[in-house]
Amino acid sequence: MSITRYSHAEAAEREQIAQDYAVPIQQAGLPLTLLEVAGEASETPLELRRRLVSQLQRTLPTTVSRSVRANLSPQAPADVVASTEAEVLSAVADAAHQSPVLRTVVTRDRSGREVTEFVGQKRSWMAQFEAQPQIMTRLGAVSY
């Protein structure tokens, strides 16, 4: 394992990227260690964004447009990466809310407290409390 040194500005930018991607990575059901692995494999912050976008694109369902799921070119300019990134993050959030699986998303608020949210369809956790529908045909002596 090699130790890589970054300038203060680049380290701050990488930290901001990690904060920006923590929620979408959890929504996609990927482990947060992905941030560390992608960070070590990337030479620049732009390359780190490309790697994270690529990982998130792989989790998108086939119902999402192919233009959003298409892999970014390594030579893509920063503005193309930014627009694709915004589309992918939006698609990941939408897919998480439509998912039949309930996923836990843990974040921290400004004071440092952990905030736990759950994303997914209501049915994913509410189904266990559902009963079969019943029709009332009689109430006492009165029939309907």
Instruction: Give per-residue pLDDT as tens, 70-129.
Output: 888 888 888 988 999 999 999 999 999 998 888 999 999 999 999 999 999 888 778 778
Q: Which two tokens stand for residue 19?
A: 């904060």
In a domain? residue 1: no
- Quote the pTM value: 0.77
Q: Residue 21: which of 107, 94, 102, 80 has the closest Cα?
A: 107
Give 5-16 pLDDT, tens digit per residue.
778 888 889 899
Task: Give the pLDDT confidence score for residue 3 in this predicted structure.
Answer: 55
In a domain? residue 3: no
Between the alpha carbon of residue 108 and those of residues 3, 79, 117, the distances in Å are: 28, 29, 11
Residue 92 and residue 60 in contact, taking contact as beta carbons nearer than 8 Å: yes
Identify the DSSP state of 22.
H
Number of domains in the chain: 1
Give, for 104, the enclosing helix (H) or strand (E): strand 103-108
Between CA 87 and CA 130, with CA 96 as vertex, the angle to 5 degrees is 150
Give 20-66 pLDDT, tens digit per residue.
999 999 999 999 898 888 888 888 888 999 999 999 999 999 888 88
Question: How far apart (Å, rounded) are the C-alpha atoms in residues 79 and 38?
Answer: 21
In a domain? residue 69: yes
Residue 53 and residue 81 in contact, taking contact as beta carbons nearer than 8 Å: yes
In a domain? residue 89: yes
Q: For residue 72, give its domain range.
A: 8-143
In a domain? residue 21: yes
Identify the DSSP state of 99.
-
